[in-house]
Amino acid sequence: MEKMQVLTDSFGRKIDYMRISITDRCNLRCIYCMPEEIPLLPPEEILTYDEIISVCQAAVCLGIRKFKITGGEPLVRTGCPELIGRLYTVSGAEQVTLTTNGVLLGKYLDALLENGLKAVNISLDTLNADLYRQMTRFGELSTVFENIERAVKSGLRVKINSVLQKGVNDKEWEALAGLAKDNRIDVRFIEMMPVGHGRKYAAVKGEELLNSLRDRYSCIEKDSSKHGNGPADYYRIPGFAGSIGFISAVHEKFCDSCNRIRMTAKGEIKPCLCYSDSIDMKEVLRSAGSEDIRIERAVEAIREAVDRKPRMHCFERRENISEKRQMVLIGG
């Protein structure tokens, strides 16, 4: 039997997960993620699907087997479901999942299922239609809600990702957590990170939220079963079909268990979300003469990015955060 490669960084962390942004475009403008007006990349600056496949082939050679497709909004790029199908044909790729705002999920659900998608993360920060419109600048909550219901019915594993902001949607936790009651949906609360416009908003601490949940549901208990690739801590409320997760990126550092690298739509491989350091994969791919050389150089570039992973982020010392771009350009 062929031996599976294991990729580790200089701190001994196993790196087996890669987030791949396929577009800088979005059909919403969430206030903390994307400004109303932002210069868009010219199409030739964005990696083609063939180039993304080459990067994944290289990643798999090193031991990265799980991929998350993100954006911008990945479903606005034509052919996203088919890309997922192609990624599944890369030998060694074990899991391909998607993170979306859910607006186009209904339209592409059948195509996504046909292409092998098994799990989806849907970003939703409120169940109040007016607040949703305000926070996304023009989104229609009813469309997203219908699409969540359809996704759940289709058998996809659904996780809801919610980012709470003090004074904006911090009262929404109870309604959002309620989504996990009757459906096998995990609802995860992600702390606002001081990246891009996220710097302007005060994060609700995961710990504060857990205390509110404990006040409301005294029987809430730790859930130690595995729920995916992320750093979330999960809790169960008896009687709820899904679990409640906390990704406390800022207030509880989980860097010791970091398992990932990221690639932006223009092919920058980022060792860490917090810093601007990146390796230009587009240049690596486009300067190689043949497919074999392309993969060989891509392997070297990914290896280098992993070697450059820092020990930890510095979200608590804002002056040291060197990543200055909006999250929409990074992919979350």
To the nearest whole angstrom, how small is the minimum distance from the Cβ of residue 28 to ligand SF4?
4
Cα-Cα-Cα-Cα torsion 12, 14, 15, 17, nearest 10 degrees, comes to: -160
Angstrom distance (rounded) from CA 183 to CA 81: 25
Q: What are the beta bridge partners of residue 189? A: 162, 246
109: Cα within 13 Å, side-chain hemisphere = 20
Partner whose binding site includes residue 29, from ligand SF4, ligand SAM, none (CB under 5 to 8 Å by kind): ligand SF4
| Max CA distance (Å), the chain | 62
To the nearest whole angstrom, how small is the minimum distance from the Cβ of residue 75 to ligand SF4?
10
Residue of 10, 7, 2 lying closest to 311 (CA atoms): 10
To the nearest whole angstrom, how small is the minimum distance from the Cβ of residue 39 to ligand SF4?
15
Choose, by CB under 6 A, the member of 139, 198, 206, 231 that binds ligand SAM.
198
Residue nearer to ligand SF4 on the CB measure, 101 or 165: 101
Helix (H), strand (E) at residue 74: none
Partner whose binding site includes residue 105, from ligand SF4, ligand SAM, none (CB under 5 to 8 Å by kind): none
Residue nearer to ligand SAM on the CB measure, 170 or 300: 170
Cα torsion angle, 10, 14, 16, 18, sign? negative
Q: Check residue 97 for interaction with ligand SAM (CB under 6 A).
A: no
Q: Check residue 273 for interaction with ligand SAM (CB under 6 A).
A: no
Q: What are the C-alpha distances in Å from 25 to residues 13, 45, 53, 75, 250?
A: 32, 13, 20, 10, 27
Choose, by CB under 6 A, the member of 206, 231, 242, 331 that binds ligand SAM.
331
Which part of the chain contacts ligand SAM (CB under 6 A), choosing from 95-103, 148-156, 218-226, 258-266? 95-103
Q: Check residue 136 for interaction with ligand SAM (CB under 6 A).
A: no
In the complex, the residues that contact ligand SAM under the rule CB under 6 A are 26, 32-33, 70-71, 73, 99-101, 123, 161, 163, 190, 192-193, 195-196, 198, 327-328, 331-332
